[in-house]
């Protein structure tokens, strides 16, 4: 087994950890494509080390810097969002890891699947926005979509060896984030620094804020609905503060399978890149004696409204999850920039959903238009 990997979003948290996996298995993986949007200096450093065939910077303002720095390297250099989508279909690529943030991951994922290239999906927003379109395309092209999120990787692993065995429900575990057990009054005073201080996981800013608001778990529920062909009522969220059990599957006979391990994103990344093989590694091992008590709680949706809004969007279907996702991206960005409070993010999302038009069976162009409309509406609400 040897795979040429395209890492879309190589300078982010998932992308840099994926390169650690490549470092540990140089006989298994080569880097064929690297992309980033703004982090040009780190992208230059990565390109010189891994010598990919193609490098793309999304922000065209950085093209001259990237091109000049790699002038003496045998690397093709491109810029712009269209180029980032086109390279996902590069014929010499065996697997595309989509670790871009937000809506931007949708079109590259489509391009990869259209080209018949397996996708390791770390961009949950792709399935939140257009899960029906993506999974239909994957089935048509007979191309696997392998989840990288720790929770979905756990479900995926639990389903191995269970063909034909009906799933009764899945349980997505949540750490509860830094504000587990807090009330709304506390959340009104939350600062950016507090919200970015996750107790268990090291992630990028956007996903860390989503985790703190439990929107991340809502988005994961929608993603799971498409990945595993489930109904909303078959997806349960359980708060598990230790983050040792990454998720569970309950089958029709009542038996439950769980995937466990220390919270380390390199493990699900390695599993996705190496699938169907489990590759050896030197990661720290879990010891039951260090965790004598594993606890579970119900999520408080009266405090963390984003989770209940995500479930309602999933039940409504159509373009509503797309609106939810776009409004959330705008709200999180506003919170990180000090333009709205932590609790206000939920109100911005709720108002945006109410104001955007409903499309029951959206096409790709409908999703693009819905995303633009929702962002404009959310921005207007923030400025009002």
Rounded-to-integer distance, Cα 158 and Cα 66, Å = 43
In the chain, what are the domains? 3-147 (3.40.50.720), 152-262+285-305 (no CATH), 317-384 (1.10.1740.10)
What phi, psi does 54 have (nearest 5°)? -135, 140
Say whether pLDDT at 202 is over 90: no
CB 116 within 8 A of CB 124: no
pLDDT digits (tens, 9 = 90+) for 110-121: 999 999 999 999
CB 266 within 8 A of CB 161: no
Q: What's the pLDDT score for residue 146?
A: 98
Q: How many CA atoms lie within 13 A of 257 on its CB side?
A: 16
Q: What's the pLDDT score for residue 102?
A: 79
Rounded to an integer, the average pLDDT of 69-91 is 96
Q: What's the pLDDT score for residue 203?
A: 73
Q: Tokens at residue 354, please?
A: 């109410």
Q: What's the pLDDT score for residue 197?
A: 86
pLDDT digits (tens, 9 = 90+) for 8-41: 999 999 999 999 999 999 999 999 999 999 999 9
Rounded-to-integer distance, Cα 369 and Cα 365, Å = 6
Q: What's the pLDDT score for residue 198?
A: 80
Rounded-to-integer distance, Cα 241 and Cα 196, Å = 17
Q: Tokens at residue 13, please?
A: 């948290």
Say whether pLDDT at 200 is over 80: no
Rounded to an integer, the average pLDDT of 136-144 is 97
Q: What's the pLDDT score for residue 75?
A: 97
Three-state DSSP at 239 gives strand
User: What is the average pLDDT value for the chain, to the nearest integer?
Assistant: 95
CB 190 within 8 A of CB 179: yes
Tell me which DSSP letter residue 77 carries: E
| H or E stretch at 298 | strand 297-298
Q: What's the pLDDT score for residue 384?
A: 81
* β-pair partners for 249: 170, 257
State the Rg of the chain over Cα. Answer: 20
């Amino acid at each position: 087994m040897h795979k040429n990997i395209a890492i879309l979003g190589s300078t982010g948290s998932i992308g840099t950890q994926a390169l650690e996996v490549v470092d540990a298995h140089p006989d298994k993986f080569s880097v064929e494509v690297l992309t980033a949007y703004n982090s040009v200096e780190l992208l230059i450093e990565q390109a010189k080390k891994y010598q990919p065939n193609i490098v793309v910077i999304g922000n065209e303002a950085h093209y001259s810097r990237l091109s000049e720095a790699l002038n003496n390297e045998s690397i093709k250099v491109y810029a712009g969002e269209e180029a980032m989508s086109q390279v996902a279909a590069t014929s010499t690529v065996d697997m595309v890891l989509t670790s871009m943030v937000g809506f931007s991951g949708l079109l590259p994922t489509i391009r990869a699947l259209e080209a018949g290239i397996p996708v390791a999906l770390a961009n949950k927003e792709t399935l939140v926005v257009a899960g029906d379109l993506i999974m239909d395309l994957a089935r048509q092209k007979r191309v696997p979509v392998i989840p990288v999120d720790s929770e979905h990787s756990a479900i995926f692993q639990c389903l191995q060896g269970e063909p034909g065995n009906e799933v009764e429900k899945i349980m997505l575990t949540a750490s509860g984030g830094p504000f587990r057990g807090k009330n709304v009054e506390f959340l009104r005073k939350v600062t950016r620094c507090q919200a970015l201080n996750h107790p268990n996981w090291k992630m990028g800013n956007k996903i860390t804020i989503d985790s703190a608001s439990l929107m991340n778990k809502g988005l994961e529920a929608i993603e799971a609905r498409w990945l595993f062909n489930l109904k909303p009522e078959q997806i349960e969220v359980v708060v598990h503060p230790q983050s040792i059990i990454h998720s569970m599957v309950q089958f029709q006979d009542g038996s439950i399978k769980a995937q466990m391990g220390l919270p380390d994103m390199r493990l699900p990344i390695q599993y996705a890149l190496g699938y169907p093989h489990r590759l050896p590694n030197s990661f720290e091992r879990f010891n039951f004696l260090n965790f004598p008590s594993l606890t579970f709680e119900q999520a408080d949706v009266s405090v963390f409204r984003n989770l209940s809004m995500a479930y309602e969007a999933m039940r409504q279907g159509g373009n509503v999850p797309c609106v939810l996702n776009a409004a959330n991206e705008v709200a999180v960005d506003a919170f990180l920039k000090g333009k709205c409070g932590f609790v206000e993010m939920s109100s911005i999302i709720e108002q945006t959903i109410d104001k955007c038009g409903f499309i029951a069976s959206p096409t790709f162009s409908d999703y693009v238009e819905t995303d633009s409309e929702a962002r404009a509406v959310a921005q207007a609400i923030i400025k009002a």
